[in-house]
Amino acid sequence: MSSTNQNIQHALGEKKGFQIWWRMLRPHTLTASFVPVFIGTMIASLEESIHIGLFLAMLLASMLIQSATNMFNEYYDFVKGLDTEKSIGIGGTIVRDGIAPNRVRNLAFAFYGIAVLLGLYICIETTFWIAVIGVVSMAFGYFYTGGPYPIAYSPFGEIFAGFFMGTVIIGISYYIQLEVVTWDVIWLSIPIAILIGAILLANNIRDLDGDKENGRKTLAILVGRDNAITTLLIFFIATYLITIAFIFMDLLPIWALITLLSLKKPINAYRVFKNNYTPLEMMPAMKYTAQTNTIFGILYGLAFVFELLF
């Protein structure tokens, strides 16, 4: 192991053993799949008792697909020469821990296989149209970094991620409980879709210089560092303003004001990005952005629970 490798692993707190595989899943991002399932299900709970089996199947399938997407990301970025042992913000499973690339790729396909089985159960309980949406979502996960024109290398990553991981997952989670989707549910998915897009934007701000050198055309690269940070701030502001607007429009219960308790995290994310310039220094901003999605999303979902209980 090179000294550079050891220094980066020490700075990032990377450990051996089980944590190699845990890091590969990029667990700090997995709430991007948990939160939408939770919210879609909680909205449905206002209409009917929750089918726990369907909720758990949808939750696990969504997290498996996102984990597989992260692994495909790790694999294809390595194959294309984008990741090295100096790369920050990756699992490092291949370039720092020495796990065979094909093993990472095959594990991703195995996760897809398990998600398909869970999807089959959901289809049997509801409708096989869910399978069509599931296949499209998995294709998005694969082509995010795979294929000749990866979505991750384009300016549209934030839009695709927000739509599929936010609006689509919330809509499916709601549908499998009630077998109907309303426009209200679609509108209610918007704040979460924005925050999921924010996670990707924060990632691209941190990786801007390296991505630019490797020919990527992400939104952060196209608008520049300062404008990208401003755009991230707009994402955060829009999330809270839309939430408040939905309360006034009676789309959300007054309990949704508890989402304001999460405000410290996006403020911290913005400040860290504004005052730091290296990928390692900007890592806390990535963490704060992911925590914004987590805390805001859980509070957003709890607003429906409180409405039901009180």
- The number of CA neighbours under 13 Å toward the Cβ of 185 is 27
> How far, in Å, CA of 134 to CA of 148, rounded?
22
Q: Which two tokens stand for residue 183?
A: 């426009």
**All domains of the chain, ordered by start, with CATH?**
15-305 (1.10.600)
Q: How many residues does the chain have?
A: 310
Cα 172 from Cα 189, distance rounded (Å): 11
Q: How many C-beta atoms lie closer than 10 Å to residue 72's C-beta?
A: 24
| Residue 300 · residue 242 · CB < 8 Å | no
Q: What is the pLDDT of residues 201-213, one digit of tens each?
A: 999 999 898 888 8
In this predicted structure, what is the pLDDT of residue 18?
A: 59
**C-beta of residue 99 within 8 angstroms of C-beta of residue 20:** yes
* Long-range contacts formed by 48-55: CB under 8 A, 24+ apart: 48/177, 48/178, 50/177, 51/125, 51/176, 51/177, 53/121, 53/125, 54/122, 54/125, 54/126, 54/176, 54/177, 55/173, 55/177
Taking only the tens place, the pLDDT of each residue in 242-252 is 999 999 999 99
Say what the pLDDT of residue 104 is: 87
Contacts of 43 (CB under 8 A, 6+ apart): 170, 174, 185, 188, 304
Cα–Cα dist 181/174, whole Å: 7
77 Cβ contact partners less than 8 Å away, ≥ 6 residues apart: 83, 87, 90, 145
**Distance from C-alpha of 219 to C-alpha of 201, rounded to nearest angstrom:** 8
- How far apart are alpha carbons 114 and 118 in whole angstroms? 6
pTM above 0.85, yes or no: yes
> Splitting the chain (310 residues) into consecutive groups of 10 residues, what average pLDDT does each group show?
46 55 74 92 93 96 90 83 61 72 90 94 92 88 82 91 93 95 96 95 91 88 96 98 97 97 97 93 93 96 94
What tokens does 260 get? 């304001």
Distances from the Cα of 171 to the Cα of 9, 40, 47, 275, angstroms: 39, 6, 15, 38
Interatomic CA distance for residues 79 and 17, integer angstroms: 24
Q: How far apart are CA 84 and CA 145, in angstroms?
A: 16
Q: How far is CA 217 from CA 44, 77, 157, 166, in A?
A: 39, 15, 10, 23
